Amino acid sequence: MRWRAGARFERVLLPLAGLLLALCAAPASAGVREGLVIDGWRFRQLPESPQARTHPQANAWRAARVPGTVHTDLLAHRLIPDPHVGAPEAGLQWIGLADWEYRTTFDAPAGMFDAARSDLVFEGLDTFAEVWLNGEKILDASNFFRTWRVPVQGSLQQAGNELRVVLHSPINRMLPRVAAMPHKIGGNYASPYGDEPPEAMTANFVRKPGYHYGWDWGPRYVTAGVWKPVRLQSWDAVRIDDLHIRQDQVTAERAELSVRVGLDVARAGDYELRLWQTGPDGRRKRVARQRIEVVAGTDTVTVPLAIDEPRRWFPVGYGAQALYRFDAEVLDGRRLVASASQRTGLRSVELRLDPDEVGRTFHFEINGIPVFAKGANFIPFDMFQPRVSEAQLRRVLQSAVDANMNMIRGWGGGYYESDAFFDIADELGLLVWQDFMFGGGMQPAYDPEFRANVLAEAREQVRRLRNRPSIVLWCGNNEQEIAWKYWDGGNHGKELRAADPEFAETVWEGYVQLFGRDLRQVVAEEAGGIAYWSSSPGNDLAEEANVPEAGNMHYWEVWGWPAKPPTAYLDLTPRFMAEFGIQAWPVQRTIDHFARPDEQGIDTPVIEAHQKFMAGKGNARLLHYVEMEFGTPKNFADFVYLSQATQAEGIEIAALHHRRSRPYTMGSLYWQLNDVWPGASWSSIDWFGRWKALHFHARRFFAPVAVSALRNAEGRTGVHLLNDRTTARSGELRVRVVGVDGNVLRDERQAVTLPPLSSTRVDAYADAQLLGGADPAATAAVFDLRVEGEPPSRRVVWFKAAKEIDWGTPGLQAELERDGRGHVLTLRSERIARAVWIDFGDLDVELADNALTVLPGESVTVQLTSAASLADLRTALNLRSLADAVQPASR
C-alpha cells in the first residue's frame, strides 16, 4: 500500500527555527550526517564592551570550553576567583554587564559542503547572540531555552569557515527599555550590587533562567555563553526531526498508540518507512513497513500501533518501570537515509479535578491508581549548567527515590532539564511536575513578539520531552498569579492598578492570554494528553488562588511571614501542597569548603554571603526557629546542627499531616530537594550531594507504610496509620510512654489492619491520657508500627519544647565493626538521645540512616560504606545529640 505523507496523513508546516532537534535522541544514519560537533573555540571580552577598560584582564583571546559559560571560562584561566568560595559575588557583577565574543574555525568535510541541505544547529545560546559565518550574519538569537537551526548550504567553505558568536549583556540590552516605562511590572529580586537599579529590574523581560539574577538560595551571576553544543548537520534526502509515540489509550489489556514521524525533506520522492519496537525484555521486532511519497518541506506520517498486554510503566513504589524503545527508519531503495529512536514507558495519566462537597479534588491517577505525591521541588543543580554531570544528576535523583519520594517538581526559575535527567527519572519511576520557565514576577506577555518567542520555546520543549513517561503535568509558571493578586509592593497587581489602571488591565490580559490560552493550547496540541495547569499555586485562573478547597497550594506562613511555629502546618489542610519549607545550613564539611574556620560565625561576612534569604536577615530568621524549639546555640557549630534538626522536625510535621489527610490531600512536595551552590537553603541535599537531617527524616516520613502521630497546640495527639501500597497490610501498633531516663510508664500493643491506599485514624489522645501524672518536661510518647515486609516506623511525640527538657548526659555508646556489606555502627544510650547525628569529618562515608532518636535499652544499627579503613573510621567518628547543643533546662 502507498501512503502519501501530508495527504492521507498529517502535514505539519513549522518554521525552521521552531523545529525540535532530534540529535540527542537519534543515532546517526547513512543519509543524515550530523557528527560534526564544532569545537576549538576561543573567547574574549568584546573590545567595545562597556567593561573592557575597567577589566582588561578578559580582553585577550583565550581557549574556551563549549558547552560552557563565561564565568567558568574565566575561572579556568584564573582570571576570577571561584564564584562559590568565600564572598566574591559583588566583585564579579561586571561580567553580566560585559559583552563577549566566541570564535572558532572549522572545515566542512566531503559530503557536507555540497549536500542538498546543511544546517548549523545551535542547541543553546545564552542569551542575546549575534552569529556570524564567514563574515555574514546568519542569526540573531534571543532565547536561552531555544534551539536555533540555520540553513547554511551555499555559505560554507570547504576549509577555514569562521564562526563567531557575539553575546550581549542582557542587562544592558533591556535596561533602557525597562527604565523608560512610566510604570514598571513586578520583578523578582533586586540586585544589591548596583549592576542594575532596583526600580528597573530586567530579568522578567528576558528569556533566560531567572536564578542567574539571584534568588533566596543562590548568588547573582548573570552569565553568558554557548551553553550547549554547536553542530553542523547535512542531508541529501530526508531527516527525521521528530518521533512522537502518542499514547491514545493504555490499559492492562491493550495499548493503542499513534507513532508520528516528522520529516524534513530535502528531496521529494518515494521512500520506505520502517518502524521497530524493542520491548522491556530486549526483544526487537518490526511493527510497521510502508511506502511513503513525500514532497520537499516538512511532513508528518502517522502510523497506528497496538500492543496487547503491554508491560506498563509505574511510578516507583507502585510497579516496575518497563520501558519500550521505538526506532523509525527511512530508506531510499535499500539505502538507509534517516533514522531516529525514542524510549518511552506505556502508562495512562490523568489529573483528577472532580467536584465534591467542598470544592474540587487535585490528584494524579497513573494506570488508574490514585497516587499520593510524595517528594520535593528541584532547582538547577549548579549556578553554571554546563558543568552539571550525569553522575551528579543520578546521585540526587537516586537520593530522592531512596527517601521514598515518587514525585519532584521542576521549578520555573531555572531551565528545562537535560535528556540525561529525564532518562534517569524515567528509569527510577519519579513523576515530574514540569513548570515552564517563569519563576516569579510578571512577564510582558502583552507584547506579541515576547509571547511568540515564548511559544516557540514551549513548543520545542514540549515536543522534546513528550515521550517521557515521568512527566505528568505542564504548569505555566511559579507564583505569578498570586503575586499579581495578593502581594503588596514590587509593582504587582495592587500597586499597578492604583498607579495606572489601564496598563494594569493590559498586563493582566497579556498574562491570561499567555498562561490561560496560548500555553494551554501548545500543551493540548503537542504533549500527548498530559494535563496543563496555569500557575502554581493556583486553581487554574479561578478568581481565588492558593486556597485549600481546590487546586494546589504554596504555604509560607511558617518560615516566611508571619513566621509561625511548625505546628501551624497542622492548621491548614490543602488539596495538594506544592511548596512549604524551613531553612537549614549544610553539614560542616560543606561549610568548610567555602569558609575557613576563622570566617565562620552566625554573622561573619562569608557566612552572610552564603545566606541568601532576601525577605529578611536569614540567619536571624533561622535562629528564631532554632530558639523556638531548642534554645540558644552555644556556638556556630551548634547553630548549624540545630538548624538541621529544626528543619527536619518541622517538615516532618507538615508531611505527616498532609499524608494523614488523604484522600482530601493528595500531595506533599517540600521546598527544596537540591542546591545550586554550597550555602544555607531549604534543601535536604546540599550541593555536594550530602544529605541533611531532613533527607534522612524524609525517608522515614515518606515510607510507604508509616505511623503519623502529631501533637497540636491544644495538646492533642492524633494517630493515623498510612498505607500507600495497593494491597491491605496487617501489623502491630505499639504505644509507649517513656521517661527521658528510660523509665517505661506505659506499654500497649494492638493488632492493626491498614486498607490499601489509605490513611486510617487510630485515636486522638489528650496529654493527660498519655501522661497520667508524669512530668511533661521529662516524658515522651513513642508510637511504633511494625508490618511484615516493611521497615519499622516510629514517631516520638514530645510534650514540651526541647529547651524545657533536662536531657542530662545520654551516655551514648558506639561500636563500629566490619560486616559482609562494609561496616556496621551500633548505638546504645542510657537516656533518651534525640537528634543523634553521626559524623565522620572529612572522610567519605555513606550512611544508611542518621538523625536518629535512640531510646534506652535499645540497640540501633546503622550500615555504612566507605573506602576508609576501620581504624580511620573509628578515629573520625563523632556523635552529637541535643544534650550536646542545648543548655540544660532550668527546673
Weakest mean pLDDT among 338-342, 423-427, 577-581, 611-615: 611-615
Domain that holds residue 78: 32-231
User: 15 falls in which pLDDT band (50, 70, 90)?
Assistant: very low
At 187 the three-state DSSP class reads coil
* 507 within some domain: yes
Residue at which a domain ends, from 304, 329, 344: 344
**Which of 665, 697, 729 is at the close of a domain?**
697
Q: Is residue 26 part of a domain?
A: no
Confidence grade of residue 820 (pLDDT, cut at 50, 70, 90): confident
Tens-place pLDDT, residues 502-525: 999 999 999 999 999 999 999 999
| CATH classification of the domain holding 844 | 2.60.40.10
pTM value > 0.85: yes
24-28, 235-239, 260-264, 659-663: range with lowest mean pLDDT: 24-28
The verdict on 731 and 776 lying in the same domain is yes
> How many CA atoms within 13 Å lie on the side-chain side of 160?
1
pLDDT at 32: 73
The answer on 826 and 882 residing in a single domain is: yes
Whether 767 and 842 map to the same domain: the answer is: no
* Crossing angle between the packed helical segments 636-660 and 693-701, to the nearest 10 degrees: 20
pLDDT per position as a tens digit, 395-442: 999 999 999 999 999 999 999 999 999 999 999 999 999 999 999 999
Helix (H) or strand (E) holding 761: strand 758-766
Query: How high is the pLDDT of residue 1?
Result: 29
Q: How far is C-alpha 406 from the chain's CA centre? A: 13
Cα–Cα distances in angstroms (integers) from residue 653 to residues 649, 701, 709, 765, 797, in the given order: 7, 9, 9, 17, 11
Please tell me whether residues 105 and 181 are part of one structural domain: yes
Do 384 and 445 lie in a common domain? yes
The pairs formed by 512-518 with CB atoms below 8 angstroms and a separation of 24 or more are 512/541, 513/445, 513/446, 513/451, 514/443, 514/445, 514/451, 514/454, 514/476, 515/445, 515/476, 515/477, 515/480, 515/481, 515/541, 516/541, 518/451, 518/454, 518/455
Digit-coded pLDDT (tens) for 848-863: 999 999 999 999 999 9
**Which pLDDT tens digit goes with each residue over 241-261?**
999 999 999 999 999 999 999
Q: What is the overall mean pLDDT for the chain?
A: 95
Q: How many domains does the chain have?
A: 5
Q: Tally the C-alpha atoms within 13 A of residue 385's C-alpha that lie toward its C-beta.
A: 27
User: 91-149: per-residue pLDDT in tens?
Assistant: 999 999 999 999 999 999 988 999 999 999 999 999 999 999 999 999 999 999 999 99
The predicted structure's pLDDT at residue 886: 83
Q: What is the dihedral of CA 648, 676, 558, 627, to 10 degrees?
A: 60
865, 821 contact by CB (below 8 A): yes
| Residue 841 CB contacts under 8 Å (≥ 6 apart), including other chains | 589, 876, 878
User: 455-508, pLDDT tens digit by residue?
Assistant: 999 999 999 999 999 999 999 999 999 999 999 887 799 999 999 999 999 999
Q: How far apart are CA 456 and CA 449, in angstroms?
A: 11
Residues composing the chain: 891
Are residues 565 and 692 both part of a single domain?
yes
Q: Are residues 88 and 9 in the same domain?
A: no
Long-range contacts of 122-125 (CB under 8 A, 24+ apart): 122/147, 122/148, 122/149, 122/150, 122/226, 122/228, 122/230, 123/21, 123/23, 123/147, 123/228, 123/229, 123/230, 123/231, 124/67, 124/226, 124/227, 124/228, 125/165, 125/167, 125/226, 125/227
Are 128 and 256 within one domain? no
Sheet strands side by side (includes 833-839): 852-854, 833-839, 878-880
Q: How far is CA 246 from CA 249, 312, 322, in A?
A: 9, 15, 17
Do 129 and 181 lie in one domain? The reply is yes
Q: Round to whole Å and give the CA distance between 464 and 457.
A: 11
Is 865 part of a structural domain of the chain? yes
**What is the residue whose three cell numbers read 571580552?**
45
Structure confidence by residue, pLDDT tens digits, 195-238: 999 999 999 999 999 999 999 999 999 999 999 999 999 999 99
User: pLDDT confidence of 615, banded at 50, 70, 90?
Assistant: confident
Say what the pLDDT of residue 873 is: 98
pLDDT of residue 796: 98
